[in-house]
Amino acid sequence: MTEELSLDSDVRFIKGVGPGRARLLERLSVRTVRDLLYLFPRRYEDRRELTPLDTLKPGMAAAVLARVVTVERKPTRRPGLSLVRALVTDGKGYGYALWFNRRGLERLLPPGTEASFYGPIEMHGGRLQITNPEVEVVREGEADSLGRIVPVYPATEGLSPLWLRRLLRRLLSVAREELRENLPEAIRHRRSLLDLPVAVEGLHYPLDGDHWRACRRRVAFQELFLLQLGLALRRHQARSGSLSPRLAPLGPRSEAFLASLPFSLTTAQRRVVEEIGADLVLTEPMNRLLQGDVGSGKTVVAVLAMLAAVDGGCQAALMVPTEVLALQHHRRLSRLLEPLGLEVALLRGALSAREREESLLSLREGRVAVAVGTHALIEEHVAFHRLGLVVIDEQHRFGVLQRGALAAKGTSPHVLVMTATPIPRTLTISIYGDLAVSVIDELPPGRRPVVTRRISSRQRPRLMEFIEAEIARCRQIYWVCPLVEESESLDVASAESRHEDLAALLPHRRVGLLHGQMASREKETVLTAFQRGEVDLLVSTTVIEVGVDVPNATVMVIEDAHRFGLSQLHQLRGRVGRGGEESYCLLLGGAATVEGRKRLEALCATQDGFRIAEIDLRLRGPGEVCGVRQHGLTDFRVADLLKDGRLLNEARQEAQALVAADPSLSSASELKRELYALYGERLELAVTG
């Protein structure tokens, strides 16, 4: 290579780029030669067929190969507008090419020049003309864009797609060799995959549709395979550490707990309890995802798993995303478990130094059986005596790494993650590797669908009457205030003023307020009062979005509902309809955007969390919905988790087989280097071999 470029070279050092354009490229997330080679076209133009000039028709986009007959710069009356016009011929016919504001172009196209033109054909003054065509001079019978499928790259201000095409064309010829094949031959053979350099080049310059598909498949496989390999390796490393404790499902405490419940488990709950129990008696760590729609009763299942830990002589930790939820779980668990002689600790950000010291000590010495908490659980000084099980509630709110941090507080503890956002199988695999999945596909008996309606501002007086009537029937109301801004303090301000308004409108009713910036004690007081039925209407920000469980609440009012995400709305709606009463979710405010309207329509149309997650995935993409965005694990350039399910499975099988056969990847050093460069840090892979 003439230019001494490696894949990791800064693009700045590529001839013709320099620091200025490197900055512009950075906007396309392109920093290195490798990034650039993997900057694939947004679309393609099929210029394989050249159109003879005598067959042009207005309305078509045509590729033409022709010789310039005359070229002139035409003056115009409008300042700032210049025209260049060329008369061209291909021997069969004549046509005009016209450019706006391409000063100096006439000098590149002196009469006699052969060039290829590509652009829209228009009819002007009875003459066919190709307008603002892309033009490329043919030298020695050759031009990059001649007679082939031509890539169109994403444009960014200051970098034209054409400039990018030329840059990449040249880069492919000088740096393609650097893209070394790194997949083991056997895998390529088994899965009929093209060579990497061939596939990368083909994605820029496909020969035809089939070729493009084969190239895309290879590059997508590569992306999926590397992540799967990372996950498989991580799991292998976790397993080959120490043994997990054997826990004791359905032991005496579980029995006592089940006997104390006012209901019996649903069939689905019993099934998942069994699935989890079967994992917990093994010395290999459980890694299981529990999916169940909002209100399906996941908490009871989690408690049974935690009691299996306690009966097995271990501690259990339950991590939840909000303090409000931590408070609720702590109160419930204490009530349920204290009669069984078990201590439950609460760990949250806002503890006094003394409380904190006490909790931490009892946790370390093993007096506490179950710890409930927020992120505070994974702080450095938190230590357990013998942590046997980690439960993460509402896992989509946490990252992969936070889960790892909690598990790291024990010796290969079992891990149960729970979510009400039922992620499609392809996604769970790609995000968690070979995570086992249990599904609660049944709601407790007697649940009725929540009546979901949009309410216009004209109907507000009627809404207030309705609320009065519900309160008169001893029902309780949630009133969720709009997300004002990204800023939490503004949300709080809007909740405070709404609280004042509603308190004034309902002078004889007890109106409460809950938001994230209240002191913990206050939050606790309000939440407890609401749970005891001592508050009729609770004005709140989205802090109540997940987990809060007050079966007597029957109405959820959501202001400016269109501003919320779809899964979020479904979660909020899930706060009601938890008792046997008819419940309502009322969506206030118009939908300002098309997307907003789509979300509200989807919410009104279905109660099925799985359907909603699917729609949400389509609207927002997997990274957002599953909360892995920030880790970039699913930021693939080519692979599409929603469409490449089959390929993902193939990649996963190969990754697992490879790790099983050669866990140090000593037979695939190139691959290993690539893997560690990409995921070593993010997946906390151990450096071996």
Interacting residues with ligand ADP (CB under 6 A):
263, 265-266, 269, 292, 294-300, 420, 444, 549, 551, 578
| Nearer to ligand ADP among residue 409 and residue 570 (C-beta) | 570
| Nearer to ligand ADP among residue 320 and residue 471 (C-beta) | 320
468, interface contact from Mg ion, ligand ADP, none, CB < 5-8 Å by kind: none
Q: How far is the CB of 292 from ligand ADP (least distance, A)?
A: 5
Q: How far is the CB of 549 from ligand ADP (least distance, A)?
A: 4
Nearest residue relative to Mg ion (C-beta): 547
Q: How far is the CB of 420 from ligand ADP (least distance, A)?
A: 6
Q: How far is the CB of 370 from ligand ADP (least distance, A)?
A: 16
- Report the C-alpha gap between 298 and 234 in whole angstroms: 28
Contacts of 555 (CB under 8 A, 6+ apart): 466, 467, 470, 475, 476, 477, 478, 576, 583, 584, 585, 586
Buried b (16+ CB within 10 A) or exposed e, 465-479: ebbbebbeeebbbbb
Q: Tokens for 218?
A: 């290879």
292, interface contact from Mg ion, ligand ADP, none, CB < 5-8 Å by kind: ligand ADP
Concatenate the DSSP letters of all residues of 176-196 into one string: GGGS---S-HHHHHHTT---H
- How distant is the alpha carbon of residue 28 from its chain centre? 20
133, interface contact from Mg ion, ligand ADP, none, CB < 5-8 Å by kind: none
Nearest residue relative to ligand ADP (C-beta): 297
Q: Tokens for 533?
A: 């039925």
For the beta sheet containing 368-373, the strands, ordered from the edge strand earlier in sequence to the opposite edge, are 343-347, 368-373, 315-319, 387-392, 414-419, 287-292, 436-440
Query: How many residues sit in the footprint of Mg ion (CB under 5 A)?
Result: 1
| Nearer to Mg ion among residue 422 and residue 547 (C-beta) | 547
Q: How far is the CB of 336 from Mg ion (least distance, A)?
A: 15
Q: How far is the CB of 25 from Mg ion (least distance, A)?
A: 45
Q: Is 412 left (phi over 0), alpha (psi -120 to 50) or beta?
A: left
Cβ(204)–Cβ(69) below 8 Å? no
Q: How far is the CB of 258 from Mg ion (least distance, A)?
A: 19
Cβ(387)–Cβ(364) below 8 Å? no
Cβ(167)–Cβ(17) below 8 Å? yes
| Nearer to ligand ADP among residue 299 and residue 438 (C-beta) | 299
Site for Mg ion in 274-333 (CB under 5 A): none
Site for Mg ion in 547-606 (CB under 5 A): 547
Q: Tokens for 343?
A: 């201590």
Cβ(420)–Cβ(348) below 8 Å? no
Cβ(685)–Cβ(230) below 8 Å? yes
Cβ(291)–Cβ(438) below 8 Å? yes
263, interface contact from Mg ion, ligand ADP, none, CB < 5-8 Å by kind: ligand ADP
| Nearer to ligand ADP among residue 358 and residue 549 (C-beta) | 549
| Nearer to Mg ion among residue 397 and residue 409 (C-beta) | 397
| Nearer to ligand ADP among residue 413 and residue 577 (C-beta) | 577
Q: How far is the CB of 616 from ligand ADP (least distance, A)?
A: 17
Q: How far is the CB of 442 from ligand ADP (least distance, A)?
A: 9
| Nearer to Mg ion among residue 332 and residue 682 (C-beta) | 332
| Nearer to ligand ADP among residue 266 and residue 421 (C-beta) | 266
Site for Mg ion in 529-548 (CB under 5 A): 547
300, interface contact from Mg ion, ligand ADP, none, CB < 5-8 Å by kind: ligand ADP
Alpha-carbon dihedral 394, 395, 397, 401, rounded to 10 degrees: 160
Residues near Mg ion (CB under 5 A) are 547
